[in-house]
């Protein structure tokens, strides 16, 4: 190997080694970190979520009283205003009952129907969901509910369906009462299914459908007669415990309403909002 002019050995850098400039001290851009936008939850939301989970899991039983605001604030390290806001969130959700006065307090409640109804109705109205979509859900669920009612109903529930059937028939000359009693009839059948989710869903949907059903030119005598006839068929099947017959009778009833809705709505569609809708009454079969 030839030497340098000074006689010192030459430095050889292997071909596979790259000389990389130092990156120490370079300032990173925010995009280099790959961080998403971060949001910090409010302290009241965190406390409400903690208590919510304990209520829904059963750790906090219905009827027990939570510690007073002062003690909750001391335990959590939050202000009393933050604790108050968290409890207010749970009250709106129907998970606690805030009772004022010296002997009052914040009592735990089981989730009720009202918050569920508000959520379903708020979603339908807020999303401007058209009535046919609402009726499709009803047509899918309600016949099954009638079949379950035929198998599971108690004597008390059967009496409630019978009472609602008579009430519908007795108010054929009073349209508002007729439509109100019709809702009660449908909800009574759903309740007799002993499926709480079906009952909650049907209660919510029936209320939505009722909001726009006062159409005098559609609610003719023939329409009301068909409604009464359909109710009687469902009642008979439920009374006799015939699941398949109850399913079929209710399916024909709600399908008739679905067909009527499809034929009455304009092409651009109508949402259920209690003001803009042009909706027929439940009665065709």
Indicate the pTM of the whole model: 0.69
* Contact criterion met (CB below 8 Å) for 146 and 246: yes
Q: Closest Cα to residue 201, out of 157, 270, 136?
A: 136
User: Looking at residue 26, what is its pLDDT?
Assistant: 72
How far is residue 282's CA from residue 278's CA, in Å, rounded to a whole number? Answer: 13
User: Looking at residue 263, what is its pLDDT?
Assistant: 61
User: Looking at residue 271, what is its pLDDT?
Assistant: 47
Mean pLDDT of 257-282: 49
Mean pLDDT of 198-223: 75
Fold for 114-264, please state it. Answer: 1.20.120
Going by pLDDT thresholds of 50, 70 and 90, the confidence category of residue 285 is very low
pLDDT tens, 78-126? Answer: 999 999 999 999 998 889 999 887 778 999 998 888 888 888 888 888 8
pLDDT tens, 41-89? Answer: 899 999 999 999 999 999 999 999 999 999 999 999 999 999 999 999 9
Mean pLDDT of 273-277: 36
Q: Where are the domains of the chain?
A: 43-108, 114-264
Going by pLDDT thresholds of 50, 70 and 90, the confidence category of residue 130 is confident
Q: Closest Cα to residue 172, out of 283, 284, 285, 260?
A: 283
Place of tokens 């130092």: 22
CA separation (Å) from 27 to 19, 32, 36, 96? Answer: 21, 10, 19, 51
Mean pLDDT of 230-243: 97
- Look up the CATH number of domain 43-108: 1.10.10.10
277, two tokens: 């809708």
Query: Whole-number mean pLDDT of the chain?
Result: 82
Going by pLDDT thresholds of 50, 70 and 90, the confidence category of residue 235 is very high
* pLDDT above 80: residue 173: yes
């Amino acid at each position: 190997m030839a030497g340098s002019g000074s006689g010192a050995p030459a430095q050889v850098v292997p071909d596979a080694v790259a000389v990389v400039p130092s990156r120490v001290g370079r300032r990173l851009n925010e995009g280099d970190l790959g961080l998403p936008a971060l949001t910090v939850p409010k302290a009241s939301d965190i406390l409400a979520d903690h208590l919510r989970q304990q209520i829904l899991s059963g750790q906090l039983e219905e009827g027990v009283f939570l510690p007073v605001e002062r003690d909750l604030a001391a335990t959590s390290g939050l202000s009393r205003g933050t604790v108050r806001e968290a409890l207010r969130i749970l009250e709106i959700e129907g998970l606690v009952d805030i009772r004022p006065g010296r002997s009052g307090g914040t009592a735990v409640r089981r989730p009720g129907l009202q918050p569920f109804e508000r959520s379903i109705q708020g979603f339908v109205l807020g999303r401007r969901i058209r009535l046919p979509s609402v009726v499709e859900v009803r047509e899918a669920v309600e016949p099954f509910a009638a079949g379950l009612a035929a198998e599971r109903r108690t004597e008390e529930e059967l009496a409630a369906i019978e009472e609602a059937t008579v009430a519908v028939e007795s108010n054929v000359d009073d349209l508002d009462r007729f439509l109100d009693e019709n809702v009660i009839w449908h909800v009574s059948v759903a309740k007799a299914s002993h499926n709480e989710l079906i009952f909650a869903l049907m209660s919510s949907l029936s209320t939505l459908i009722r909001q726009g059903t006062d159409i005098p030119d559609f609610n003719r005598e023939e329409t009301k007669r068909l409604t009464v006839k359909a109710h009687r068929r469902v009642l008979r099947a439920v009374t006799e415990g015939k699941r398949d017959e109850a399913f079929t009778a209710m399916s024909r009833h709600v399908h008739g309403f679905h067909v009527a809705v499809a034929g009455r709505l304009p092409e651009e569609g109508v949402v259920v909002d209690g003001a803009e809708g042009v909706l027929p009454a439940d009665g065709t079969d």
